[in-house]
Chain A
Amino acid sequence: MTFPYTEKVLEHFRHPRNVGKIENPDGNAMEGSPACGDMVGVHIKVDPETKRITDIKFESYGCASNIATGSIITELAKGKTLEEAKKIDWKEASEALGGLPAIKAHCSVLAVEGLRSAIQNYEERHGLVKDQKPTTVEIVRRRLKKVMNPLSGLDLVRTELVKDIKVNKGTVHVMVDIPADHQFASNIRDEIMEKIGPLWDVKTVEVRFSE
């Protein structure tokens, strides 16, 4: 039989490691969306003294390379300190799997982003963000690039659905150019809240839709 994946990828695809959720995780994150066909969730437990990842689990909605990368990053990150785990990149994950098809890079990079976001989420929750910069319009915009427009499977910023962003004393306003009664409006609102809410100095997120 001929598969487009290495034995190692297939092995992780068949028997993914560290699958599921963690009860009361210290940090977690969800990357991707159902629209683009790939999602990865990463959940971590962190030793507060040593700052080592003591437990890590992942969830995946996606293709084989997405599942295999999610699985391998949990193996790579387990036992590492947060600083060490932050350095895990797509290349390291891909090499650990014996290589991934180039065309599947975007499906597999999500797991790596998921790990980094989970670590970031931990740091934000525990007041560990060093040199905390005040949230700016640019920071909000960067985060909105991770919210998908289900109509096209591309992100909100790229599809020009974000009409306006305002940041004012802990309140972030985001104006989205779809009607409030649109079938995806509430999904998009939830996802925006999820991405912007955890920022350390953000108290409220207000999402408005066009008329």
Chain B
Amino acid sequence: MIERTIYLDNAAATRMDERVLEAMTPYFFETYPVATSEFGYSLGIEAREALEGAREEIAHHMGANGGEIIFTSGSTESSNLAVKGVALALGEKKGRHIIISAIEDFPILHSARAFEKQGFSVTYLGVDSEGRIDPDRLREAITDKTILVSIQHANQEIGTVQDIETIGRICRDRGVLFHTDATHTFARMPLDSQKVKVDLITVSPHTIHGPKGIGGLYIRKDTPIAKWMDGGFQEFNLRAGLENIPGAIGFAKAVELVTPEENEQITMMRDHLIDRVLAEVPNTTLNGHRSKRTPQNANITFHFVEGESITLHLDMRGFAVSTGSACFSRSLEASHVILGIGGDHERAHGSIRFSFGRYNTMEDVDEVVDTITEVVVELRKISPLADNKEVQK
């Protein structure tokens, strides 16, 4: 029996911090009512004040005002609201063209596709071999019908960080709204809504040891956006439904708990893993940019072997990682991100994502590198790709 799991899939979800739970607990058992207006009863007013406090805390972290953040059920909903809300608000008035990058995460990719089916045109901007979009190609893609550009701050699989300052400037100059999905960077990397000319930002605490089921969307003041889920008047009448107050409190606490020292520590783990694997395991390729990547992400292709075999071997030895292989995914499709950076299917099938968090140590990094090195050697022994295949006539 394996005694513990070394969890290296923090880009997917993180272990929640006890201090986050502690902060949330009173809002389940004591201050549990809905947030009432200031004319409600005391406990409801208290709940509302707590909610607004959490909103301020999160807004403060990105140089925004509390009134510019709304809470949602997670980054999927936030990104849906950003794309669909803008499309509904401006589709008739201004135009029906949206620009996204080809390697966006599914909420953006599939929201754009949904509107494409309804007659919108969508430009899927390609990326270079390290996953970066070319600002000149963005400039060329913008037309007078373009209503929204949605380019992620950093990629979910390969961690590549986009130059959102430049992208924001281009969009602002052309009078086009700019949304960025910051799910994988918020609190881990600087993001200032004053400095970056961005109109909408998707954020979530599930990647920073906060709770699942809560997310946020920054909406710059006066941004045209339509409500698309009907119900009550919550969240400045943009997102109907009971507020998840414990979730919002947990979100704010999670943001507060991330320190620059921790981010540095995680970056060191990432670099140590990349350096060791590339130096010690032959036939490996780093996916994404070497330095312009999120602190927590290392993504490496182990050529000639298939990702699900690696993850299963690692799982049996107590390590949790993920892969871009088709066999691992629910859709049985190879990663669109690895294919998007010009990789072939073999590169996607053999890609492993390691993502670090608060509860990892340098020893974890060494252990996983030692173990994966052994596993890959074993799997390559049986792989026909590891040397040239020849079928004799």
Contacts and interface: CB of A to CB of B under 8 A. Distances in A.
Contacts of A37: 306, 325-327, 334, 345-346, 349
A14 B317 CA distance: 11
B344 A150 contact: yes
A153 B335 CA distance: 12
Interface in A62-86: 62-64, 66-67
Contact residues of A: prevailing secondary structure: mixed
A61 B391 contact: no
Interface in B286-326: 304-306, 308-309, 312, 315-316, 325-326
Interface string A78-107: 000000000000000000000000011001
A61 B332 CA distance: 16
Contacts of B175: none
A96 B160 CA distance: 45
Contacts of A66: 306
Contact of A59 (B306, B326, B384, B392): B384
Contacts of B306: 37-38, 61-63, 66
Contacts of B385: 34, 39, 61
B382 A19 contact: yes
Given A29-B391, A63-B327, A198-B393, A35 B344 contact: yes
B102 to A, nearest CB: 15
Interface string A38-64: 111100000000000000001111111
B187 to A, nearest CB: 32
Nearest to B348: A37
The size class of the interface chain A forms with chain B is 35 or more
Nearest to B385: A61
What does DSSP make chain B's interface, helix, strand, loop or mixed?
A: loop
Contacts of A64: 308-309, 312
Given A1-B2, A198-B391, 14 more contacts: A3-B312, A3-B315, A10-B316, A28-B391, A30-B391, A34-B385, A41-B389, A61-B384, A62-B306, A62-B327, A63-B306, A63-B308, A184-B344, A198-B393
B392 A25 contact: yes
Interface of A: 1, 3, 10, 13-14, 16, 19-20, 25, 28-30, 34-41, 58-64, 66-67, 103-104, 107, 121, 125, 150, 153, 183-184, 194, 197-198
Given A39-B384, A63-B306, A63-B325, A150 B393 contact: no
A66 B349 CA distance: 14
Contacts of B1: 1
B345 A1 contact: no
B325 to A, nearest CB: 6
B361 interface: no
Nearest to A148: B345
B19 interface: no
A35 B350 CA distance: 11
Contacts of A25: 392
B299 to A, nearest CB: 17
Contacts of A183: 344
Contacts of A107: 327
Nearest to B342: A183
Contact of A13 (B312, B325, B392): B312
A41 B304 CA distance: 14
A37 B2 CA distance: 29
